[in-house]
Amino acid sequence: MNKRSSWALPYFIFLVLFVVLPLVMILLYALQDGSGHFTLANITKFFTDKDALSTFALSIEVAIENTLLCILIGYPAAYILADNKLNRSAVTVVLFILPMWINALMRTLATAELFNMAGIPLGKGTLLFGMCYDYLPFMIYPIYNQLAKMDKSYGEAAQDLGATPGQVFRKVTLPLSMPGVWSGVMMVFMPTVSTFAISEFLTNNKIKLFGTIIQENINNSMWNYGAALSLIMLIIIALTTVLQGSDQTEEANGGLI
Amino acid sequence: MQAKKVFAKAYLWLVLIVLYAPILFIVIFSFTEAKSLGNWTGFSTQLYQNLFNGSMQNSSGLLAAVKNTLVIAVIAALVATILGTIAAIGIYHLRGRKKQVMTFLNNIPMINPDVITGVSLFLLFVFIGLSQGYLTVILAHISFCTPYVVLNVMPKLRQLNPNIYEAALDLGATPAQALRKVLVPALRPGMISGFILSFTMSLDDFAVTFFTRGTIGLDTLSTYIYADARKGGLTPELKPLMSIIFLIILIVLLAINIRQSKQEANSSKK
């Protein structure tokens, strides 16, 4: 029994080398100046950098709006998909998760072209709708998963006890589906904040999101400042993960196909 | 009830149409010769012909990018599947704190946004002075693929009778034989879905590749498209290429799901 637990060792070493150590590198570079001396200047630079701060605020705003939009459109879709009275076909479910496998850049470019053809000027509105196209499947799938494995007899019991369909949904179905919603939020919110390329394509370079600033700094050899910006994002990720309770990810992501 | 059903179906179809509009747009305009998307100059399969006989401008760049994408995805998915399966068996048999630590570490790459994964690995490779290219991209892809293999193999381990591995050993099998003849066949469905998931994620990756490919001019399909779009004007042959990829993915995913639902139907009959 004990012997087989040692099979985790190679992967443990791999994780330390290529997951933990790289994150330590972010911390290391964020707290150094160009010549390798310890400094907090990179962090304070962010808090005094008006452009970076406004981009950061805008990214959080877009991410919140995008996440809400995805829940608003995605939840009903997931609900219908999971209800076997309304949907019997597994193929429909596949059709909903399929866009996840298509190259996101190509889809985004096509979306931008569609807006161009329809004569809609590229800007914040198109950014939001384009983001929603890109991330909707990532919201629908975990919610669907959660609803599909939910024990239907809870709802039936509530109904037998005199609850109206609205009450059943509010007091039984919705609370039980919340872990799925949270996984969806994790899969939509942080990726939206950190996205680059996608926001540039959807707004014709007019709107930058936080990911773009990180990328620009790294590509222009401003590694230390780029690392500091990444560190700020890491802290936010850590906070949202702790708030949500990190043990839910395993359940919701299992068996994505 | 009937009205509700009609409304539900209509909603699903509406969302699907909106979701697929950009993809259909690419497919439709792959059958015309115009350079820019959205410009229809009559039906033509010229772009498909160009793609297959390589008679397009900068064909070597695009074909090399396709080849790189496939090679990286195959190697990364294979290594991730092997590493992840062995790791899943190990983690399954861990107890207490060690198990918690491994589960936590395994979750990090899935929670990290691509940009963070990319930047952090970039800094690591710079720090240890590893020159960036094929190797670093593959290592990076393995790091974000393996957690999904672990998650796909884990449920199969829970379904497995814990005694059959020991039984194989008692009957004289070496651990390697027991792994090959007992564990692997039982875990195969999870390994296959882990492999496919890893493969598609590697294919689709942009940000991590972008940061870890170095400056030797290594391009995958994603970085090629990015550079192409920034230059202004996509290579027109990308449209038929994306259409073909889309069709392949559609067929593969549908086949997997139909097979799975058949298997489930069979096992519920027994």
Distance from CA of A50 to the nearest CA of B (A): 22
Reported as a single tens digit per residue, the pLDDT across B181-238 is: 888 888 988 898 889 889 988 988 999 999 999 888 889 989 998 888 888 767 788 8
Cβ neighbours of B206 in A, within 8 Å: 103-105, 197
Chain mean position to CA B233: 27
Burial zone of B69 (CB within 10 Å; 0-12 exposed, 13-18 middle, 19+ buried): buried
**Highest mean pLDDT, choosing among B119-123, B198-202, B242-246:** B119-123
Choose from B13, B116, B159, B242 for mutation: most chain A CBs within 10 A.
B116
Cα-based distances in Å from A127 to A211, B114, B184: 14, 19, 46
Superfamily of A50-253 according to CATH: MetI-like (1.10.3720.10)
**For residue B267, what pLDDT is reported?**
66
Are residues A22 and B109, on separate chains, in Cβ contact within 8 Å?
Answer: no
| Arithmetic mean of pLDDT, A75-102 | 81
The Cα B51–Cα A102 span in angstroms is 19
CB contact B9 to A (< 8 Å): yes
Q: Residue holding tokens 């990018």?
A: B65
Backbone angles phi, psi at B39, to 5 degrees: -115, 105
- Name all domains of chain B by residue range, CATH numbers in brackets: 1-54+238-270 (no CATH), 57-235 (1.10.3720.10)
Q: Which comes out higher in pLDDT, residue B20 or A91?
A: B20
Q: What is the pLDDT of residue A72?
A: 95
Shortest CA gap A1–chain B (Å):
7
A241 with B103: Cβ contact below 8 A: no
Q: From CA A50, how far away is CA A81, in angstroms rounded?
A: 45
Chain B contacts of A97, Cβ < 8 Å? 253
Contact A210, A233 (CB under 8 A): yes
- Chain A neighbours among B 74-93 (CB < 8 Å)? 83-84, 86-87, 89-91, 93
Per-residue pLDDT of A5-53, as tens digits, reads 888 899 999 999 999 999 999 999 999 887 878 888 888 888 888 888 9
Which sign does the torsion angle of CA B175, B177, B182, B185 carry? positive
Which residues have C-beta within 8 Å of that of residue B123, sequence separation ≥ 6? A22, A25, A26, A28, A29, A223, A227
Read off the pLDDT of residues A194-232 as tens digits, 9 standing for 90 and up.
888 888 888 887 888 888 889 989 988 888 999 999 999
Chain B residues 30-69 with CB within 8 Å of chain A: 36-38
List phi, psi (to 5°) of B257.
Answer: -70, -35
Q: How far B181 CA lies from chain A's nearest CA (Å)?
A: 16
DSSP string of A70-124? HHHHHHHHHHHHH-TTT---HHHHHHHHGGGGS-HHHHHHHHHHHHHHTTPPPSH
Whether residues A116 and B38 touch (CB distance < 8 A) is answered with yes
Q: Are A81 and B12 in contact (CB < 8 Å)?
A: yes
d(Cα A66, Cα A138) in Å, to the nearest integer? 12
Most B CBs within 10 Å, among A1, A16, A24, A25, to test the B interface: A25
Strand partners, A38: A32
User: What pLDDT score does A1 carry?
Assistant: 47
Cβ of B234 and A109 within 8 Å?
A: yes
Q: In chain A, which residue's Cα lies nearest the Cα of B5?
A: A86
Which residue, B155, B7, B256, is CA-closest to A94? B256
Mean pLDDT confidence for B3-17: 88
Judged by CB atoms closer than 8 Å, whether chains meet at B87 and A11 is answered as: yes
Residues 129-188 of B with CB under 8 A from A: 139-140, 142-143, 146, 148, 150-152, 154-155, 165, 175
Interface mutation target, options B13, B123, B136, chain A, most CBs of A under 10 Å: B123
Name the CA radius of gyration of chain B, rounded. 23
Task: Give the tens place of pLDDT for each residue, B69-114.
Answer: 999 999 999 999 999 999 999 999 888 889 999 999 998 998 888 8
Neighboring chain A residues of B97 at a CB cutoff of 8 Å: none
Binary contact (B25, A114; C-beta < 8 A)? yes
Domain limits, chain A? 50-253
Q: Which residue of B has its CA nearest to A190?
A: B113
- Distance from C-alpha of A169 to C-alpha of A163, rounded to nearest angstrom: 9
What's the mean pLDDT when you consider all of chain A?
Answer: 84
Interface test with A, best of B5, B19, B70 (most A CBs within 10 A): B19
DSSP-based three-state secondary structure for B43: strand
Q: Which residue of A has its CA nearest to B200?
A: A101
For the ranges A145-154, B89-98, B251-260, the one whose mean pLDDT is highest: B89-98
Residue B158 reports pLDDT greater than 90? no
Q: Taking CB atoms and an 8 Å cut-off, how many pairs form between chains A and B?
A: 263
Instruction: Measure CB to CB from residue A5 to each of B94, B146, B246 and give the nearest one.
Output: B94
Give the model's confidence band at B36: pLDDT under 50 very low, under 70 low, under 90 confident, else very high: low
Query: What residues of chain B lie within 8 A of the CB of A214, using their CB?
Result: 115, 119
